Homo-oligomer: A and B are copies of this chain.
Amino acid sequence: MAVASAIAPSERAAMFGLLADPLRLRIVELLAGEELCTCHLIAETGAKQTTISHHLRILREAGAVTAAEDGRFTWYRLTPHLLDALAASLAELAEGAERAGRQRVPCAP
């Protein structure tokens, strides 16, 4: 059975939606490789603090990142689960696209 279909289509779409925003994608990419605190993300993206905080909240609530508070700093780390699910979903689609049959199902019954 297809692994991707374990999740509802709308939920999968929402997961892709997490990466559909340039700034959010940038944050995820920065977080892929090392743990960073908000100030780093602000510095490297040039975005306002409140904007970064907003997107981090979205990523946090979606389970894409985890936050660890340490004093006045909050360190964010990327969780692989969600990315893995998306990767599996895409792999299925790509595979399907490759072997897409050329035969056409009749149109009007």
Contact = CB atoms under 8 A, between A and B. Distances in A.
Interface residues of A, number: 53
B79 A97 contact: yes
A88 B39 CA distance: 29
A93 B16 contact: no
A47 interface: no
A53 to B, nearest CB: 16
Interface string A1-41: 00000000110111011011110111011011111110110
Interface of A: 9-10, 12-14, 16-17, 19-22, 24-26, 28-29, 31-37, 39-40, 73, 75, 77-80, 83-84, 86-87, 90-105, 107-108
